[in-house]
Amino acid sequence: MSRTRVLIGILGLDQHEVGAVAVARMLRDAGMEVIYLGCFQTPETLVRGCVQEDVDVLGISCHSWEYLHFLPALMEGLRAQAPEVAVVAGGSVLTADDARNLAGLGVAATFDAGATPDTIIATIQALGARRAGRLANLLA
């Protein structure tokens, strides 16, 4: 069984990357393969990264509200080029209303500032396993 592959990035001009780096390390330490693109990403660069790296999960770090502006274009690009990639969003500014709106866009999971490491790891592992199962069924 292959390891879950996760790409992590930060949309727009948001420079708050401490949380993204911490989550990247946490996922790596849990046995996942993590590709960290860092700050100042666009929907197009994240979609391209997902395709090039053949990831299971895309993690978006949210510590300013810019992600609300960029996520519709990101989700549209993923649907067109990498529909099997699950998107998760996490950060200090995520509200319950934002989480509901993001779910409506197709975001698979959201993590607010109180999310525990165990919850984040388990959710991302489950999303990666779900993609692996779907791909295996396509090949069978």
**Average pLDDT for the chain:** 90
- Percent of the chain beyond pLDDT 70? 93
Backbone Cα Rg of the chain: 14
Give me the pLDDT at residue 134, please: 58
The enclosing domain of 73 has a CATH number of 3.40.50.280
* Statement: residue 139 has pLDDT above 70: no
pLDDT digits (tens, 9 = 90+) for 60-118: 998 787 888 899 999 999 999 999 999 999 888 888 999 999 999 999 999 998 999 99
pTM of the predicted structure, to 2 decimals = 0.91
For residue 124, give every residue at least 6 positions away whose Cβ sits within 8 Å of its Cβ, in sequence order, or none.
4, 6, 27, 32, 57, 59, 88, 109
How many domains does the structure of the chain reveal? 1
Give me the pLDDT at residue 93, please: 83
Distance of alpha carbon 38 from the chain centroid:
12
For residue 24, give every residue at least 6 positions away whose Cβ sits within 8 Å of its Cβ, in sequence order, or none.
6, 8, 34, 36
* Statement: residue 14 has pLDDT above 80: no
Three-class SS state of 132:
helix
111 membership: H or E segment, kind and range: strand 109-111
**Averaged over 29-58, what is the pLDDT?**
96
Give me the pLDDT at residue 137, please: 53
Residue span of the structural domain in which 70 resides: 5-139
Distance of alpha carbon 42 from the chain centroid:
14
